[in-house]
Amino acid sequence: MYELIAMALALTLLVTLLHRKVKLGRSMVLAAIGLAVLLRVTPSEFWQTLVNEWHNKPLSQTTAYLFVMLATLIMMVNVFATAMKETGVSLRLVPALHGLFRSRRLALAAIPMMMGMLPTPAGIMLSAPMVRDLGDHVGVKRGRLAAINFFFRHQWEPVWPLYPAVPLVQGIFGVSAFALISHNMAITLAALLGGVIFLLLWGIPKRDENSRPQGRFADNIRSFAHAFWPIVLVAALYAGLSFPPAVGLLLAIILFLAIHKVSLNRWAPIFKSGVEFDFSLLIFGALLFKLDLEAGCAVEAVVEFFSDINMPKYLVIFFLPFIVAYLTGVTTATVAITFPLLVPFVGTGPQAKMGLETLAFSGLACGLLITPVHLCLTLSASYFKTSLAGIMLKLLGPMAFVALAGALMAVFCR
């Protein structure tokens, strides 16, 4: 119980600091330090956790590696956005997207959904510049743009096999990919419906005559391809050769600048534009928060607390992943921590009650949608320069659809 209170106090500190206009990165670091104090994590325990990571985890899952790669990825995204402006590609991209999709609402949702097929930490930043530019052109407020980009970016996690959580769930319950994806698809479909209703039907200004789609289809495709091929290259290098997205995007930017014949004396200012100290602090703080939870054994204590109070079965199945996802902000970690504990409820193999698995994953998805420690959410607030609380409030409606889908699947799909 104490660990749960400590986490709540740390998150309260984060919200208070943000309310007092402290920058997001600094607020996250201070909240993580506060959590370490509350959980009584000593420097030696903290160091031992880092050492254990190096011995027991792949390099790509260690905190130091994640910090370097994530900070570099964010910098490269900013550099890419500047490069597109420098070459005039971003100016042609907005009308091209408008012309291709015709519907402004469809365009705003489709861009992050396409980017969401690349399962990389902080990958939300790959679509952010496109959504921001298109949204500004249409006249959508930045807070709604941040919510749209964040929400639609994450609709593949329950069903897309490139996300590690999907094969992990499959292995834990011993079920086929078809069984898992066909049931979890209910979460994705319900979320899309909720997103359309709460994020796209409201807050989009009426179209005027000057904003109607222009240009020929072939020209729009060409303009879109000029901006999108670096992202395709990053995805291909990641999926085919396991290239870190940060490295892939760096290579794509170099090719992009060379193809567009940008003068070499302009390269240094373009790359310098990507340096954003607060973004690095934000990533450092989020990873520090995660380390605090691991060093203090806080998540295990929360799981044990729910078991001790004999919470009803359906509530345990939903709220256990919800709480852990809310506290960690990481999908795969939540699955690894909580889903093995749900095996007695769900079952395994042909006898697995997949409706209950869907209920569990819906709880996980709901927790990720409204936690301030979810890196994608905090990055969205920072990039779009909007309120973190404002984004989360806009996501409550779609979150209700996700929870309802999980509950219906649990009741009707045993």
pLDDT at 398: 95
pLDDT at 120: 61
From residue 266, alpha-carbon distances to 247, 260, 317 in Å are 21, 12, 55
Q: How far apart are CA 280 and CA 72, in angstroms?
A: 9
pLDDT at 191: 96
Please give the DSSP secondary-structure letter assigned to residue 261. Answer: T
Q: What distance, in Å, lies between the first and last C-alpha atoms of the chain?
A: 33
With CA atoms as reference, report the closest residue to 353 among 340, 344, 362: 344
- Indicate the residue type of 159: V
Name the domain count of the chain.
1
With CA atoms as reference, report the closest residue to 271 among 296, 249, 293, 299: 249
* Helices and strands counted in the chain (H then E): 22, 0
Give the pair of three-digit tokens for residue 138. 């249409």
pLDDT at 185: 95
Residue with tokens 């495709």: 221
Q: How far apart are CA 80 and CA 373, in angstroms?
A: 26
**Beta carbons of 366 and 158 less than 8 angstroms apart:** no
Tens place of pLDDT for every residue, the chain, 414 residues?
Answer: 788 788 778 878 877 887 787 887 888 789 889 988 998 888 888 888 888 878 887 776 677 887 887 778 778 877 887 888 788 887 777 677 767 776 778 888 988 888 777 666 566 777 888 788 888 878 889 999 999 999 999 998 898 876 767 877 887 788 888 888 899 999 999 999 999 999 998 888 876 655 555 557 787 888 778 777 887 887 778 767 767 777 888 898 999 999 988 888 889 888 887 777 777 787 788 778 778 877 887 777 776 777 777 778 899 899 888 988 887 777 877 787 778 778 888 888 888 899 999 999 999 999 999 888 787 888 888 888 888 888 999 999 999 999 999 999 999 986
349: left (phi > 0), else alpha (psi -120 to 50), else beta? left
| Contacts (Cβ under 8 Å, ≥6 apart) of 307 | none
Checking 168-174 for CB contacts under 8 A at 24+ apart, the result is 168/332, 168/335, 168/336, 168/339, 169/335, 169/339, 169/357, 169/361, 172/335, 172/339, 172/340, 172/343, 173/339, 173/343, 173/346, 173/347, 173/348, 173/349, 173/352, 173/357, 174/348, 174/349, 174/352
| Contacts (Cβ under 8 Å, ≥6 apart) of 309 | none
Task: Give the residue numbers spanning the domain of 132.
Answer: 2-412
With CA atoms as reference, report the closest residue to 316 among 349, 351, 353, 363: 363
With CA atoms as reference, report the closest residue to 79 among 258, 283, 252: 252
- Indicate the residue type of 80: F
Around 256, how many Cα atoms within 13 Å sit in the side-chain half-sphere? 32
pLDDT at 215: 59
**Beta carbons of 155 and 113 less than 8 angstroms apart:** yes
pLDDT at 149: 93
Around 140, how many Cα atoms within 13 Å sit in the side-chain half-sphere? 26
**Beta carbons of 78 and 327 less than 8 angstroms apart:** no
